[in-house]
Structure 1
């Protein structure tokens, strides 16, 4: 039997099995090491970033933070309108006559009962004289009628005259009495007409318009003077109809008038017109303004704010400081230079000032971030400016934040 040099296949496999397993184990170990090393590097990097974040400090500017201040907060409505006198009259002629003299001019102050002008009274004085004569005549006729009645009454008792004759005499007395009453009335009219030749002021005030001059011929009811009383004025302000439900009698108005600088005036709502103006759909609100020093004049234009609602003193912050988190109102509050989230309950808002009242959740004097600053979140560390956080600038205009490494 002859033997060849070949090695059986089973023997070959047995020879290389162990080296193959060893190589596979080394490969798996190397792969595991790579995964472990990558994970370790990622964790190390995350830890470094986390450490950097925890050590990061945001330097804030003075306009980025403020202290909540305690004060009253009002909701108001901006209104404007013209000032008109509360009391204004146009004095008119009560008789037709010629103006003899005028005693006052525009801008002069007058008092009630003061003579403003005089008319030529010659014609009216003559009429009064005639009426006085008519009264005398009527009195004489009445006296004669009374004597006749008394005489006829005696004759009637003695049956010397009939009852009809006495009735005629008695009727003459009644007619004489009526004539006297008419004459007295006509004399009174003449007296009043003569008195009306002196025109007097019906109120205290200032002459705003003189309509006549000396020598003018005026007729009955002609305008003579316009007098205004400036001690009290009315500000007539048109207000959109949808704002009327918020306006009540007695609400306070603070307003200013051009030419008076920083001086402010005030008044109270006294009346509200029940009908809207055609076209504009606005309604007139009348504000009573005391003007004891007569500084304000009729026709001046005023602009102001009508206080609709007045609150009690509570912490107040700007509206821009309020954020939304999970459907709730929150602010970023600083405690030991660390940002914390603080839930708040809000009250009265003033959109004009851009502030809101905090009912709950914020103590007076608490420091809050008043601007939306990128990168600052709850837990962030901040560095406050050296100056004290402002409380008189509720509307930051240029939020800034500088990042420093700790």
Structure 2
């Protein structure tokens, strides 16, 4: 046998042996091939599922409220004016200083008013003596009754002039008409002050008020005494409590609104007139409402959510209750613990398979119990 024939025969025997071995290996791996196909199918199904974020419906307290923005105003404010003219001999208060009603603020030069008072007093004393002597003479019929009456009228006129002169002298000391803080001062010692010139502005900061113009549809829900919460940008992180002080009973025909005045006094020392704030008036409360995040609501018409069941979503109509912050109460359509889609809703249709990548259930923390009229919703 030639060397070429020997090599050719050996190669043939090797190829045959390799073919037999491959057939045996394939026969032994057949069941494992089915498992691989199933795994591939499951993996493909997972790939087809839409990734979403979800939250579970849970129970917490919610409050029905009306919110608006308004500037804070002082309960009372007064422009202090000089009631007489004169040179300011002493300015007794400064801006930012608290004063009480009747406290002296400025002392004006009183010389002219003092002289006028002395002149009126001398005239009064003269007429009083004349009237006293006239009464004695009329008893002796030495003077007519008409002359006595004229003296009495002159005496009353002189007494009125004297009282007026005393009043003018009191105006030389300018006093605070109300209690509060000196907001502005427009006078200095030595200035000549003209009558009726504003020299101080006093703001009563013991209680601040905020006025909201509320749509007339809320007229039946808001009333005096309801709790109010205020947040101002100037004092971040702080919430101030107040109450509805009074409500205007008249609706403005032009704007269709009515005025609601809220008052803030206790604990509101840090607030200042003129601050702009966001106001919330709670007019009803529910302590045990079933709620979901606002983000779960669909914006395609009637209120509805995508509820997740067995890996698929179902469009579920719901009836809503009160909304507070990021939560909204659900009166009908869901049960406690139902998962609803909060992110990824755009790509979903009824029956779409989903994969929850960030389940927030239970995402609703139980709020502190609040007093409520009815805790059913």
* Same structural fold, with TM-score higher than 0.5 when normalized by the shorter chain: yes
Q: Is the 8 A contact 1:113 1:200 kept in 2?
A: yes
Tell me how far apart the structure 2 counterparts of residues 276 and 289 of structure 1 sit (CA, whole Å). Answer: 29
Q: What does residue 150 of structure 1 align with?
A: 139
Tell me how far apart the structure 2 counterparts of residues 104 and 275 of structure 1 sit (CA, whole Å). Answer: 42
Q: What does residue 348 of structure 1 align with?
A: 321
Show CA shifts across 1:90-122 (max 9, x none). 111122222211100111111122111111111
User: How far is 1:231 from its partner?
Assistant: 1.5
Q: Is the 8 A contact 1:70 1:364 kept in 2?
A: yes
Give the 3 Å change call, closer, same or farther, for CA 203–115 of structure 1 in structure 2: same
User: How far is 1:199 from its partner?
Assistant: 1.5
RMSD of aligned Cα (Å): 4.0
Give the 3 Å change call, closer, same or farther, for CA 322–225 of structure 1 in structure 2: closer
Give the 3 Å change call, closer, same or farther, for CA 339–128 of structure 1 in structure 2: same
Tell me how far apart the structure 2 counterparts of residues 57 and 198 of structure 1 sit (CA, whole Å). Answer: 88
Q: Is the 8 A contact 2:303 2:320 kept in 1?
A: no
Within a 5 Å distance, the mapping from 1:250-289 to structure 2 comes to 250=224, 252-269=227-244, 270-272=246-248, 274-275=251-252, 286-289=261-264
Q: What does residue 199 of structure 2 align with?
A: 224
Are 2:91 and 1:119 aligned? Answer: no
TM-score normalised by the chain length of structure 1 = 0.65
Q: Is the 8 A contact 2:65 2:284 kept in 1?
A: yes
Q: What does residue 21 of structure 2 align with?
A: none
Q: Is the 8 A contact 2:53 2:359 kept in 1?
A: no
Q: What does residue 84 of structure 1 align with?
A: 73
Tell me how far apart the structure 1 counterparts of residues 356 and 234 of structure 2 sit (CA, whole Å). Answer: 43
Q: Any stretches of 5+ residues in structure 1 without a counterpart?
A: 1-47, 153-165, 394-406
TM-score normalised by the chain length of structure 2 = 0.69
Q: What does residue 105 of structure 1 align with?
A: 94
- SS of residue paired to 1:391: coil
Q: Is the 8 A contact 1:100 1:119 kept in 2?
A: yes
Count of aligned pairs: 318
Are 2:333 and 1:358 aligned? Answer: no
Give the 3 Å change call, closer, same or farther, for CA 362–118 of structure 1 in structure 2: same
Q: Is the 8 A contact 1:87 1:229 kept in 2?
A: yes
Within a 5 Å distance, the mapping from 1:176-195 to structure 2 comes to 176-195=151-170
Q: Is the 8 A contact 1:86 1:230 kept in 2?
A: yes
Are 2:283 and 1:301 aligned? Answer: no
Give the 3 Å change call, closer, same or farther, for CA 148–122 of structure 1 in structure 2: same
Deviates more, 1:72-81 or 1:134-143: 72-81
Deviates more, 1:305-314 or 1:85-94: 305-314
Tell me how far apart the structure 2 counterparts of residues 328 and 261 of structure 1 sit (CA, whole Å). Answer: 34
User: How far is 1:385 from its partner?
Assistant: 7.1
Deviates more, 1:85-94 or 1:73-82: 73-82
Give the 3 Å change call, closer, same or farther, for CA 212–81 of structure 1 in structure 2: same
Q: What does residue 56 of structure 2 align with?
A: 67
Tell me how far apart the structure 1 counterparts of residues 199 and 253 of structure 2 sit (CA, whole Å). Answer: 34
Greater radius of gyration (CA): 1
Q: What does residue 185 of structure 2 align with?
A: 210
